[in-house]
Amino acid sequence: MTEITRPGKIIAIHLNYVSRSDQRGRRPAAPSYFFKPASSIAGTDGTVERPAGTELLAFEGEIALVIGTAARRVSVEQAWAHVAHVTASNDLGLYDLRTNDKGSNVRSKGGDGYTPVGPNLIAAADIDPGALRVRTWVNGELAQDDTTAGLLFPLPQLISDLSQHFTLEPGDIILTGTPAGSSVIVPGDVVEVEVDAPTAPGAPSSGRLRTTVTQGEIPFDAQIGSMPAVDDLQREEAWGSREAAGLPASAPASAAITTYPTHEGSKNVPSAAPNPTVSDPSSGGASGGASGGASVEPAAGLSAELRAKLMEAPTAGLSSQLRKRGLHSCFIDGVSANIPGSKIVGTAKTLRFVPAREDLFKTHGGGYNAQKRAFDAVEEGEIIVIEARGDATTGTLGDILALRAVARGATGVVTDGGVRDFDAVAEIGLPVFSQGAHPSVLGRRHVPWEHDVTIGCGGATVQPGDVIVGDGDGVIVIPAHLAEEVTDAALAQEDEDAWIAEQVAAGHPVDGLFPMNAQWRAQYDARSAPQTEQQR
């Protein structure tokens, strides 16, 4: 192995593999480039940080060329003689910042540690530049596998072209493009890149360049620069396809842009959580999943007056009134509050999980999936209701999503599954009615499938816009068109029951009082009837 010195320049090409070009749906007529700072260089077995408040850090396994002798206006035929070594590189990039840089990639590709190279250098003189191979593994699974036979612009052409514009100096590094298969990586993932010349004598190899993703805790500062912003095009290109990103098969008429808030401190500081502007890609009643049932247009939100009355009405009284109107299956069974004594009132924002299946989780579980879209799109006064098929053996949300729900103004969450980070979610202050705590991550039992559709939660059918009320007795579902009528009747019944309780406490027998016979009814009506002037 020869030591890799700090380069004077790092030049990278935007698009150079046929497979990647076909994936993106465009083929450039000529190569285009961008610079990366020398401070982005990192070695093997290192780490790279995904900054706080971002989601789309992507790997790109590439062949790196190390210039050996100065090259200025060299021909294509002379170009390869100016390359000293070939090695592996990972042209890491943060798609959250790509739009802001408009092709320069200064911030999106220039972060510290965003250009790992190595570990071994292959002598360029010993190999054919048209017979190199690059492969990338993520957590041990092969993600990229291509050769320089599939390049749009051969390696010597890149050197010749760049030398037309400036001198390539010894130690400069050229990153030559990534094939199809580049995708998003998350904290905990391990990426390995290897470049080799399998047909050359001895099949020389760079060895595996290994990088582990970590989670950053320091957000970007909106006071001194533009903030991360993501739209569905960036998600599609970062993940490699709309399907892999968990997006609907066809793009919406206008791309949705998510701008991320800045938080002071770590993710566990819910105070001062802002309410950023988010446009949901499936707004207007469109299904949040890539497939599934018909979408439902949510009903209008609750008035302040009705919300106040619902806060006074107990679920026991509301359920009695629903039963009088022929609705017997209005209970979300098996759930209890994470914060004792809490009460929630709001309209339903629905989210549906389907049973885990490996191929479906691969296409719908990662990326900007239906679960994330639902929490990003919940509105003030809404309650996220999750269909988890009554399976309490996995978490259906955790502290990050709870923070997002609080930032968006959600009233609470109801799930017939479990909750991850249970204590942290309670500390955040988000009321959640669930089957209890469970530490496992998404994917063990569920695939997030779609939102804003009719679901079944805890044995109850829930439609977007239904009124949800939860207290110590449980959670009930009220059709929106009945909410006012049922609430007024429940409050009237509550007043009547309070008067009956007073009579029982005074020593009267229950018989004839509960329910009231004609005699007791007359006394109650007289007590509650307005007094005449003569009675006064």
Q: pTM score, two decimals?
A: 0.52
- Written as six digits, the tokens of 364 are 């719908």
Q: What is the mean pLDDT of the chain?
A: 85
Region 47-73: mean pLDDT is 95
What is the per-residue pLDDT across 96-110, written as a single tens digit (0 to 9) for each? 888 777 678 999 999
* 184: β partners: 58
Half-sphere exposure of 505 (CA within 13 A, CB side): 6
Give the per-residue pLDDT at 129.
96
Residue of higher predicted confidence among 283 and 307: 307
Q: What is the DSSP letter of 417?
A: S
User: Cβ neighbours of residue 303 under 8 Å, at least 6 residues apart?
Assistant: none
User: Cβ neighbours of residue 222 under 8 Å, at least 6 residues apart?
Assistant: 262
Q: Would the CA dihedral through 65, 70, 73, 75 be positive or negative?
A: negative
Nearest to 90 by CA among 223, 20, 193, 228: 193
Residue of higher predicted confidence among 286 and 391: 391
Which residues are annotated binding-site positions?
Answer: 398-401, 420-421
Among 71-80, 126-135, 290-299, which is the least confidently predicted range? 290-299
Measured from the Cβ of residue 484, the count of other Cβ atoms closer than 10 Å reads 17
All domains of the chain in start order, with CATH: 10-218 (3.90.850.10), 240-484 (3.50.30.40)
Nearest to 178 by CA among 23, 308, 356, 326: 23
What is the per-residue pLDDT across 301-357, written as a single tens digit (0 to 9) for each? 789 999 999 999 999 999 999 999 999 889 999 999 999 999 999 999 999 999 999
Which residues are annotated binding-site positions for substrate?
Answer: 398-401, 420
Residue of higher predicted confidence among 15 and 243: 15
Which residues are annotated binding-site positions for Mg(2+)?
Answer: 421
What is the per-residue pLDDT across 405-462, written as a single tens digit (0 to 9) for each? 998 999 999 999 999 999 999 999 999 999 999 998 888 889 999 999 999 999 999 9
pLDDT at 271 over 70: no
Give the per-residue pLDDT at 284.
31
Q: What is the dihedral of CA 125, 126, 129, 132, to 10 degrees?
A: -150
Q: CA separation (Å) from 162 to 77, 304, 410, 475?
A: 14, 65, 53, 66
The whole-angstrom separation of Cα 219 and Cα 336 is 35
What is the per-residue pLDDT across 189-246, written as a single tens digit (0 to 9) for each? 999 999 999 999 999 999 999 999 999 888 887 777 767 877 787 888 888 888 888 7
Angle at 32 between CA 27 and CA 37, to 5 degrees: 135
Give the per-residue pLDDT at 65.
97
Angle at 211 between CA 199 and CA 54, to 5 degrees: 130
Element (H, E) at 147: strand 141-147
Residue 218 near residue 267 (C-beta atoms within 8 A): no
Q: What is the DSSP letter of 468?
A: E
